[in-house]
Chains A and B, each alone.
Chain A
Amino acid sequence: MGKYILKRIGYLILTLFIIATATFFLMKLMPGSPYANQAKMTTEQIKIMDQQYGLNKPVYQQYWLYMAGLLHGDFGTSFQFNNQPVSYLIASRIGPSMQIGLQAIILGTGLGILLGAIAAIRKNTWVDTVATFFAIIGRSIPNFVFAVILQFFLAFKLGLFPIALWDGFSSSILPTIALAMAPLATTARFMRTEMVDVLNSDYIELARAKGNSPWQTVAKHALRNSLIPVVTIIGPMAVDLMVGSMVVENIFSIPGIGEQFVKSITTNDYPTIMGLTILYSTLLVVVILIVDILYGLIDPRIRLSSEVQN
C-alpha cells in the first residue's frame, strides 16, 4: 500500500506541474491588459508597473520565478484588489467556501444515500418513483436556478434567512441547500443502482436464509456493500461543488473563492485566475487520491490485492 501511495503522489506532483505550466503559458497568451485604467497611464507608469510585477523579464524567467514561487506557496500578486498577494486572497476566502462545500457534501451524500437506499428497497413502488423523480430534478435543474428559487421564496418572500450576506451559520443554510442538490441527486441515483444490485445478490438471500429479518439484512449486509462504491463518486461530486460554488457564492454574496474566481475573470486578474486554477486542480487531484486510498482501505478485496501486488 505504501509504495502504491508514493507512486500515486509522484503522479499527482507531475500532473500539478503540467497543469501549472499550461496555465502559466495560457495566461501569457491572454489578450487584454492587467491594468484597469491603462488608457490613463503613461508609458513610464506602465514600465514601472511591469517592473513591479516582473512583467518586463523574458517569459522563461517569469516562468521560472513563478514556479519557484509556487513551491513556497507564493502565487504572485493580484493585479486588482489592492495588490494583495494571491495566496493571501485565497487564505482569507477559502474558509467560507470550505464551510459551505463540506456542509453541502455532508447534507447531499447523507440524504442521497438515504433516498437511494429507500428507493432500492422499495423498488418499483411509488416510493421508488418519488425518490427517482427527486433525483432527476436534482440532477437536471442547474444549481444557480435552485439558488435563486430558494433566495426568492425563503429569504425574500418569507424572510426566514438572510438574502445575501455572510454572517454566521444561518446565512450558510440556503447556499448549502442549493449546492447540495447535485451531490444529493448523484448519490441517490448511484446508491439506488448499487443497492438494487446488492439486494439481488446471493449473499443477501443467504443472509435471509440465516434468519435475518429484512431490515437486519439491509443493515448488516446490504448497506455496507452498497456504500463502499459510493466513495468513488466523491471525486466527480467535488467538481460539481467547485463549479456550483462559483455561482452560488455570487448569488448569496459569500466571500469565498468561487466568487473571487468569477470576479477575477471579469477583471482579467490573471495571477488570481492562475492561482485559483492551480488551487482547484490541487484540491481535485488530492480529493481523488484520498478517495482512491480510502476505497482501498474500506474494501477488503482491494486492500488485499494491493498488498499482494507490493
Chain B
Amino acid sequence: MADNLNKLKITPASFKTVTAANVDAQEKISTPSLTFFQDAIRRLRKNRAAMISFWLLLVIVIISVVSIWWTPSNPNAQNVAYANLPPKIGQGIPGFSGQANVGGRIVDKYAQANVPKGTYYILGTDYLGRDLFSRLMKGVALSLLIGLLATLFDLAIGVSYGLISGWHGGRTDNIMQRIIEIISSIPNLVIVILMLLLFTPGLNSIVMAMGLTGWITMARLVRAETLTLKSQEYVLAARTLGESPVKIAVKHLIPNLSSTIIIQTMFSIPTAIFFEAFLSFIGIGIPAPNASLGTLLADGQKAFRFLPYQMWYPAAVLSIIMIAFNLLADGLRDAFDPKTQE
C-alpha cells in the first residue's frame, strides 16, 4: 500500500497546512453555458441523417423557388408528336439515352419522333408530350407550397385552440375537447374528401380542407403542454402580478411551447404533402393541367407498366422529400428533447 510513497520525497514542508481558498475556484463552471436553443441546434448538428436531410430539402426548396420563374421548357405545353419520349441526357448513358425497348428491339424514340438534334428531355415526356422534368419541378414546388400553407393553417388554428383550451380549463376545456373527440372520430381524409366535394377542387380548397382538419394533433399537444406550464411557478408569478393572459401567452407560454410547435410543424408538412399526393392520385386533388407530385404519380401510374419512368421519378422525389422531412423532424425532436436520446 505504501509503494507510491517511496517515489515521493516527504519533507516537513509537505505537511504545511494549505488554506482552503481553492474551494471557490473549484466550483467555477468550466464550460460556457448555452441557451436552450443553442444547445438544441448543437445537438441537431451532430445528427448526420437530419443534417443531410436538411441540406437536401434546402436544395429542393431552392429548385422549387427557381421553378417559379424558370423551367427548362413550358411544363404545360403539349406536343403530341413528342409524346411518351423516354429520358435522354446524352447518347449511350444507360437509362438516359432516349432509347426504348419495343417488342424486344431497342428503338431510338427520339429519332422516330423526328426530334431535332440537341433537344433532350432529361426525364422524358408524358402522353401529351409535356416535358416531365419541368413538370416535376413545378409539381414539387406546388406540393411544397401546399405543405407549407396547410401547416400555417395548422399552426394558426391548432396553437390558438390548444392555448385557449388548456389555459381556460374547466368547462371551456371540456367542451373544446369533446369537439376534438368528435372531429377525430372521422378519418381526416374523409373530412377532406367531403370538403373537396363541397368546394371546387384546386389549390385553395385543398389547403383549406387540410387546414381545417390537420390541426387536431397540434391542438392536443399544445393543450397538454399549456396545462403543465400553467401550473409552473413563473407563470403563477406572472398571473399574481396581474399580467394579462395574452401577454402571458406571448411572453411565457409560446417560448416554452416553441419546441413542441416546431417539431409538430415538421411532422405536419410531410403529412400535408402526402394528403395532396393522395387526393390527386385518386383524382380529386389538383385539377389538370397543373402538375403536383400527386397528379404526376397518377398520370405515371396509368402508363407505368410500359413506360415506368413516368412513374419512378415523381415517386422517387416524393419518397425522398417525405423521408427527408421525417428524418429532420426526428432529429429536431431528439435535439429539443434530449431525454429521448440517452
Contact = CB atoms under 8 A, between A and B. Distances in A.
Answer whether A and B touch in the complex at a CB cut-off of 8 Å.
yes
Interface of A: 11, 15-16, 18-19, 23, 26, 29-31, 123, 136-137, 139-142, 144-145, 148-149, 152, 156, 193, 196, 200, 239, 242-243, 246-247, 250-251, 262, 265-266, 268, 273, 277, 280-281, 284-285, 288
A239 B281 contact: no
B198 A145 contact: no
Prevailing SS type, chain A contact patch: helix
Given A141-B323, A144-B277, A284-B187, 7 more contacts: A15-B182, A19-B185, A140-B326, A141-B322, A250-B282, A273-B194, A277-B194
B185 A139 contact: no
Quick one: which of A140, A141, A152, A266 has the most chain B CB within 10 A? Answer: A140
A196 B315 CA distance: 34
In the A-B complex, list the 5 residue pairs whose CB atoms are closest, starting with the nearest: A140-B322, A140-B323, A141-B319, A243-B189, A281-B186
B342 interface: yes
A258 to B, nearest CB: 10
B308 interface: yes
Nearest to B330: A136
B265 interface: no
Contacts of B248: none
Contacts of A136: 323, 326-327, 330
Given A136-B323, A144-B278, A152-B305, A30 B185 contact: no
Prevailing SS type, chain B contact patch: helix
Contact of A280 (B187, B274, B330): B187
A19 B284 CA distance: 22
A262 B304 CA distance: 21
A108 B130 CA distance: 39
Nearest to B321: A140
A247 B282 contact: yes
A31 B205 CA distance: 14
Contact of B277 (A15, A142, A285): A142
Interface in B173-195: 181-182, 185-190, 193-194
B188 A239 contact: yes
A266 B326 contact: no
